[in-house]
A and B are shown apart, each in its own frame.
Chain A
Amino acid sequence: MNLWLVTLRLAVRSLRRNPLRSSLTSLGVIVGVAAVISMVSLGQGARAALQEQIASVGTNMVMIFPGATTTSGARAGWGTGARLTISDARALAQQVEGLRGVSWHRREVAQVQAGGANWTTTIWGVPPGYATVREWPVVAGEFVSQSQNDTAAKVAVLGQTVATMLFGEGVDPVGAEIRIKDVPFKVIGLMTPKGQSAYGQDQDDAVFIPFTTAERKVLGTATLGTVDMIQVSLDPTADEEGVIEQITDVLRERRRIQPGEEDDFGIRTIAEMAQAADTMARVMSNLLLAIASISLLVGGIGIMNILLVSVTERTREIGIRMAVGAKGRHILAQFLFEAVTLSGLGGIVGIVLGVVVSDVISRVSGWPTLVSPLAIVVAFLFSAFVGVFFGFYPAHKASRLDPIAALRHAA
């Protein structure tokens, strides 16, 4: 039985008879599918970019920072509670199993100068292990060494942004002299580019100096050994939850927190951050998708509208077909095919348009977009489904016409 082929041919033929109407009808679906494709691409691109940024922080990392104090019921926020110290970090390194490295930092925003140039950036006081824990190597020179940290040497490792701002693009700053808060430092290394953090900060806008130097000669401190944050990197095989539990136990014991009392420190993992950011991105792309789907729905209603008009207009044609032997299902299939052809062609054009729009968006606005093959397939199937769904009622109506009445219908 070649019914399907014949019906498809009939549908295409009758659509070609009214090219303007057919293309306007498809336009609804074209716009809908293009909107879906480009919005999904935008959402996917944002998620992919986010994932990349989170990965750039270093996977398998756990961050510990001082907790909040509660004064008369008012909780003052992270960092206001009991200090975290280097001894806490060392205790963790000794007592917790499954750690690959432990590091910490103190940071402060300060001005750095080199020759005539100056730049305000974040100064990070870090121990020698910091680069390893962050999985962040130098591209030139060396990172802070143990002896430099022990002697509070005035040496600095520059992030890419700082090097560019002070010395210009592509200039190797190793060996040069800079001044941090008017203290002279020798540049001993340049970090590899790291890019933005998950929160949009430029991680390359940084200067790293030995922790002891930061404490004693640049940033100052009330109590030696106070840190802003402890970072630990995990063994790839370690169970993250188990490690966090151990860290919590060690710190609670050291800080003499009674059972039932709240922790006075906070623990965040990269995985958690990634998940939170990913959830946010997912919500955003779903929202975009929902809005785009509405336009696809409107496109479907347009198809239904035109088909209803078409059925009325072609009542006589339907009567003739029935008189010469077309069954209800032949008529149903013919109109359904017209609907699906309209929406399917609209879908194909819409996909092309959507890909183009995604590209234009990413070029014009600089937002990352990612056209996923899955989105294309789903959008096409969905547009075909829209055709079937919105075409069914008019087609059904046509197939139920009484042949005698249809033949008498004024042309």
Chain B
Amino acid sequence: MSTAVIRTRALTRVYQAGDVAVHALRGIDLAIDAGEYVAIMGPSGCGKSTLMNLLGCLDSPTSGSYELLGRDVSRLSPDELATVRNRTLGFVFQDFNLLPRTTALENVELPLLYSDVPPREQHVRARAALARVGLAGREASTPNQLSGGQQQRVAIARALVTEPAVLLADEPTGNLDSQTSVEILALLRELHARGLTIVTVTHDNEVGAQAERLLLMRDGQVVEDRRKRAQTGAA
């Protein structure tokens, strides 16, 4: 039985740069099941960031369809997309994207501000999320008081606090030294082991090596889809 969390069909995205139409994505057919750990790799300009923006509901495709948890989200309005991002998706960025001069706890609470979670529960859940990434006790620290690795942990806690169906990580180790990268990768692996679906875009072969499934992209198309281990269920 298919348990696809993400399913795209003939997904394209065309940017208009002056008179030139740039075909960033040329028909992506993709299915990602619940509990998968997928790494998307490829050279610069291959369209992986564009794909990530579409999967993250930050952008809408030019054509094709995108079903998230069985619901077509490719034609939603900006407000509806915001709700999907808030309820269903968690983001981790290369440069952390924490709010400056804002405590770790408040940063983690941020997605909950835009949800229906009552304020009292927001604190509880944010503390729990921070504890889950190993930052219990650093709730009151602001980003400039935290190391890069700790900042990325706060960002991961922020992504997890809404209990999303999918964690989208865009170069999660891109701004970290190798030792810290190892720690963050270990954290992601641990989260995956507990059943979290992770999709990551990366240049880092380490990241690619740890994922269970590797999508190689070139010129806006998926050119290779390699599974490293047997998966439960089939795409």
Count of A-B residue pairs with CB < 8 Å: 62
Within 8 A of B (CB), among A382-411: 403-404, 407, 411
CB distance from B166 to the nearest CB of A (A): 14
CB distance from A302 to the nearest CB of B (A): 24
- Chain B residue contacts of A179, Cβ below 8 A: none
A325-B87 contact given A320-B110, A404-B53, CB 8 Å threshold: yes
The bracket for how many chain B residues form the interface is 20 to 34
Bitwise interface map of A from 315 to 356 toward B, beta carbon under 8 Å scored 1, else 0: 011011111111111100000000000000000000000000
Interface: B93 (CB within 8 A) = yes
| Tally of contact residues, A, Cβ under 8 A | 23
- Chain B residue contacts of A404, Cβ below 8 A: 53, 58-59
A324 to B88, CA, bound (A): 10
Q: Are B99 and A320 in contact (CB under 8 A)?
A: yes
- Chain A residue contacts of B115, Cβ below 8 A: 325
A324-B99 contact given A2-B119, A404-B59, CB 8 Å threshold: no
CB distance from A190 to the nearest CB of B (A): 75
Interface: A17 (CB within 8 A) = yes
Q: Are A326 and B114 in contact (CB under 8 A)?
A: yes
Interface: A6 (CB within 8 A) = yes
- Chain A residue contacts of B86, Cβ below 8 A: 324-326
Interface: B43 (CB within 8 A) = no
A160 to B56, CA, bound (A): 89
Q: Select one of B58, B87, B101 contacting A323, CB under 8 A.
A: B58
- Chain A residue contacts of B82, Cβ below 8 A: 322, 325-328
Q: Are A316 and B97 in contact (CB under 8 A)?
A: yes
- Chain B residue contacts of A324, Cβ below 8 A: 85-86, 91, 110-111, 114, 158
A325-B93 contact given A17-B101, A404-B53, CB 8 Å threshold: no
Task: For A321, give the chain B residue with the smallest CB separation.
Answer: B110
Q: Are A327 and B83 in contact (CB under 8 A)?
A: yes
A400 to B59, CA, bound (A): 14
A320-B83 contact given A2-B119, A325-B114, A404-B53, CB 8 Å threshold: no
Interface: B78 (CB within 8 A) = yes
A404 to B15, CA, bound (A): 13
CB distance from B148 to the nearest CB of A (A): 15
- Chain B residue contacts of A325, Cβ below 8 A: 82-83, 85-87, 111, 114-115, 162
Interface: B113 (CB within 8 A) = yes
- Chain B residue contacts of A319, Cβ below 8 A: 97
- Chain B residue contacts of A6, Cβ below 8 A: 113, 119
A320 to B85, CA, bound (A): 11
A321 to B99, CA, bound (A): 9
Interface: B177 (CB within 8 A) = no
Interface: B19 (CB within 8 A) = no
Task: For B117, give the chain A residue with the smallest CB separation.
Answer: A2
Q: Are B58 and A403 in contact (CB under 8 A)?
A: yes
A2 to B158, CA, bound (A): 20
Q: Select one of A1, A327, A407 contacting B97, CB under 8 A.
A: A407
CB distance from B207 to the nearest CB of A (A): 20
A residues with a Cβ closer than 8 A to B are: 1-2, 6, 10, 17, 316-317, 319-330, 403-404, 407, 411
B residues with a Cβ closer than 8 A to A are: 53, 56, 58-59, 78-79, 82-83, 85-87, 91, 93, 97-101, 110-111, 113-116, 118-119, 158, 162
Can you name 27 A-B residue pairings with CB atoms under 8 Å? A6-B113, A17-B101, A316-B97, A320-B97, A321-B114, A324-B85, A324-B110, A324-B111, A324-B114, A324-B158, A325-B82, A325-B114, A325-B115, A325-B162, A326-B82, A327-B78, A327-B82, A327-B114, A328-B78, A328-B79, A330-B114, A404-B53, A404-B58, A407-B58, A407-B93, A407-B97, A411-B100
Shortest Cβ-Cβ A-B pairs, 10 listed: A325-B86, A324-B111, A325-B114, A327-B82, A327-B79, A325-B85, A320-B97, A326-B114, A403-B58, A404-B58
